[in-house]
Structure 1
């Protein structure tokens, strides 16, 4: 039986707006097509994202960029068929008794092509420097509210090393363990112990959702062009690998 079969609901945990579409858009579309309810938890507004040259360029580094990225996420999730989306740190994705917290984009630096690392100027309220136990408790609160049959997030390297992706993985996996929920990491290439999915039938849908994130990327043919000029194919293939439970942080 495929991991895609029989999931009554799936919670995807992503660090920034557009991550859900770039790395898991086809998986989300396939779960929806198979009748699963799909929920999305986004951890930050991507406040430090670069902006594509054009009419939105002036938003870079401003408060309005976060608002624009919220609107872009609204459009993309509607296209993908996501049932409901949530922001980390806001109820119900906030541990009981704590005031609302807005986790900020931590930023990153390129270590080499394809591999990112932490920036040296992450703000005090950034996701990557927030206590892991607090982030875990917030995600666990949402899991307990939704009771998904599966939680999906990045692998332990955060896909390409972004510190917010790594923190999202660590906290989502710990929260899944604490709540007794199955957790699967996203694979970018086939790997031992994983299940691989080729889903070209969702290309048009994923492309439309990508276009919703107009501040961060443009679509040229079958490629994504990022704000920094990096190009990558529009992905419709991905893998999932279920991970064993971990001991939750104290």
Structure 2
């Protein structure tokens, strides 16, 4: 009898269990009121904004901040949950367009989700103010495979036009144009590990960091760059921000991504792999970069707001 290899169980870090004693409770620089703030979120695929930072985005919107969003790809390589939409998934016999129809469908889901999150403006990298002479109109989803340890690995069949195989410099220049246009005080993306490690998340971190660093010292530079925390490390000495945000807005936005997300209960959800995860109002971040004159809001200052 042939033995069957057991599929690795996907690993997802869960935030909120480890809080530093000196953690702060705001993403904004000292002296900036939420109602005056502009915050730009940079994510890899539709649904990432909701599942990863939805509570934070909802809280900022409720406080009067201008919340804008850049999405790097349209998620063409995502797995599809509803049976009636399975034909959109690459690998299915009916799917002959390389995931283009799925990308369009997920774009519609994203449009619905960002209304729930209170997003002011949204664009995909390559369109609108990010467009440039050498910039592709679309950066395609790179996809991923699960490694034996349950961690994401590069997809060997990724297109040459996908995010991780196209020019980092072109992507950086495109995001710099976005930052110059929106003039955010704060940019929020992933930490270097990409949250749970998806290759597109890692690339999105790299693009965001390079774009902000290139603008450093200019009038267009943001004050702070935060990265969504992945695995907690007690040896990480960077400033940690803990945001207890809007779980109602987050859950509603997640529900809009029907092809990708199952709302299993009031406080839990699943992706297509059916690993149960918590819908949490608590999201944590690490400070990646700050302007020389910028200072984060301390816990005592936040209580006075």
Q: How high is the TM-score relative to the length of structure 2?
A: 0.75
Query: CA separation of 1:79/1:51 partners in 2, compared to 1, >3 Å: closer, same or farther?
Result: same
Do the aligned residues in 1 keep the contact of 2:27 with 2:226 (CA within 8 Å)? no
- Structure number with greater Rg is 2
Distance in 2, matches of 1:63 and 1:152, equals 28
Asked if 1:86 corresponds to 2:131, the answer is no
Do the aligned residues in 2 keep the contact of 1:18 with 1:210 (CA within 8 Å)? yes
Do the aligned residues in 2 keep the contact of 1:22 with 1:235 (CA within 8 Å)? no
Do the aligned residues in 2 keep the contact of 1:47 with 1:65 (CA within 8 Å)? yes
Give the alignment partner of residue 254 of structure 2, picking from 195, 210, 224: 210
Do the aligned residues in 1 keep the contact of 2:135 with 2:174 (CA within 8 Å)? no
Query: Equivalent residue for 1:198?
Result: 244
Asked if 1:58 corresponds to 2:87, the answer is yes
- Length, aligned pairs only: 243
- Normalized per residue, which structure has more strand? 1
The DSSP-based 3-state class of the residue aligned with 1:244 is strand
Any gaps of 5 or more consecutive residues in structure 2?
1-23, 91-98, 216-220, 292-305
Any gaps of 5 or more consecutive residues in structure 1?
none
Asked if 1:74 corresponds to 2:95, the answer is no
The DSSP-based 3-state class of the residue aligned with 2:213 is helix
Query: Equivalent residue for 1:105?
Result: 141
The Cα shift of 1:99 comes to 5.1
Distance in 2, matches of 1:195 and 1:232, equals 21
Query: Equivalent residue for 1:219?
Result: 263
The DSSP-based 3-state class of the residue aligned with 2:134 is coil
Query: Equivalent residue for 2:21?
Result: none
| 1:103-137 Cα shifts (integer Å, max 9, x gaps) | 00001011246521111111010001111111111
Give the alignment partner of residue 233 of structure 1, picking from 278, 290, 302: 278
Q: How high is the TM-score relative to the length of structure 1?
A: 0.91
Distance in 2, matches of 1:159 and 1:63, equals 26
The Cα shift of 1:198 comes to 2.5
The Cα shift of 1:100 comes to 4.3
Distance in 2, matches of 1:132 and 1:39, equals 22
Query: Equivalent residue for 1:149?
Result: 185
